[in-house]
Structure 1
Amino acid sequence: MPGLQHSVTIAAPPERVWAVVADVERWPERIPTVDEAERLDQGPLVVGSRTRLKQPRLSEAVWTVTELTDGTSFTWVSKSPGVTITGGHVVEPHADGSRLTLTLTISGPLAGLGWLMTRSLTRRYVETEGASIKKAVEAYPTGPSSQAPGPSGSSEK
C-alpha cells in the first residue's frame, strides 16, 4: 500500500496544536495547498464528520472521519473509483512542545497508478501542511485557535 509519513516538531503544547489541526474549516487560511474546506455537518469533528476539500491540481474530494481521539488524533478517508486515500493527523507531546505526524496511504485496485501519478505532489502537499500548521500555531502559541493567523498574517475570519 503506497503512502508517506511526515512529522514536524512545534514549539507549543499539544492542545494548541490540536486546536489548529482540528479546525479544518480554517485550513484554506492557514495551508496554501487547500483552496476550500467546507464542513458538511455541524459541531466539532467526530467519527462520521464529513469535509469537502478542494486542492490545487487535485480532484475535489469529500473526507469522512473514521477514527478520532479528541485532542490527539483523527483519521479520515476519501474514496473515488478504484482508490481509497486515508489521511492521519496525530498530535503528541514532545520535549520541545509537540510533534505533529501526518500520514497518507492509498489503497484499492488503482492505488499503484494513482500513487505513481501523484506521489511528488502529494509529498509536497503533506510537507507544506505540516510546515503551515507549525507556522500558524507558533505565531500565537498561547491564544485561541480562532486568533491564529492565516498565511497573510491576518487573524480575521
Structure 2
Amino acid sequence: MKFQTAIDIDAAPATVWRTLTDVESWPKWSASMTTVERLQQGELDVGSSARVTQPKLKAAVYTVTECEPGKSFVWEMKATGVKVRAVHFVEDRGEGGARMTLGVEQTGALSGLISLFYGKLTRQYVVMEAEGLKKAAETLEAGTGPGSE
C-alpha cells in the first residue's frame, strides 16, 4: 500500500518544519496519535527514533533514515512481515506559505494483508495528520499557539 496527501499551509516553511519535527507534540494536534516518545534527545536527524502509539494500532518504534533539515525526513519501522516508510516533505510555496506532503508506504510479505485490514485507517490517519499540522503551524505562525511565546 502506498498513500500520499499534500496540504497548503499559511505559515513559513521554517514554522511548518519546527511544528513537524516536534514529534512529541503530535498528539496535541492529531487524534491519530496517542503518544510519541523520543528515544534520544536533540534535533531530529538520521538515527533518531521515537515510540509512536496510535489508536487501534500496536506501538511501534520509528527511526529516521533520511533527513534534510528544514525540508524533509523519512522514518521507518519494521515488524513481522511489514516495513512502513513514512515521508514528510515541506516545500516553500513563496509569500510565506508552505506545502506539506505526507506519505506512507507499506512493503513486505504481509503488507497486502495489513493493507486490507488497516489501509483505510492508515489513509484516514495521514489526512488527519496533515490537517492537524496545518492548523498547528498556522496557529504557531499567528503567535497564538503553544511554543509561540
**TM-score, length-normalised on structure 2?**
0.94
Question: Partners in 2 of 1:5 and 1:117 — Cα distance?
Answer: 18
Deviates more, 1:21-30 or 1:136-145: 136-145
Matched, 1:53 2:52: yes
Q: How many residues align?
A: 148
1:136 maps to 2:133: no
Kindly provide the amino acid, as one letter, of the partner of residue 128 in structure 1.
M
1:121 aligns with 2:94: no
TM-score by structure 1 length?
A: 0.89
SS at match of 1:85: strand
Q: Distance in 1 between matches of 2:113 and 2:17?
A: 33
Q: Determine if the alignment matches structure 1 residue 98 to structure 2 residue 98.
A: yes
Q: CA RMSD in A?
A: 1.7
After the TM superposition, which segments of 4 or more aligned residues of structure 1 sit over 6 Å from their partners? none
Unaligned runs of 5+ in 1: 149-154
Q: Secondary structure at the match of 1:63?
A: strand
Q: Classify 1:6/1:19 alpha carbon distance in 2 versus 1 (closer, same or farther; 3 Å).
A: same
Aligned residue in 1 for 2:30 = 31
Aligned twin of 1:151: none
Tell me the CA shift for residue 140 of structure 1: 2.4
Tell me which residue corresponds to 1:13: 12
Q: Tell me how far apart the structure 1 counterparts of residues 42 and 16 of structure 2 sit (CA, whole Å).
A: 19
Query: In 2, distance between residues paired with 1:86 and 1:11?
Result: 27
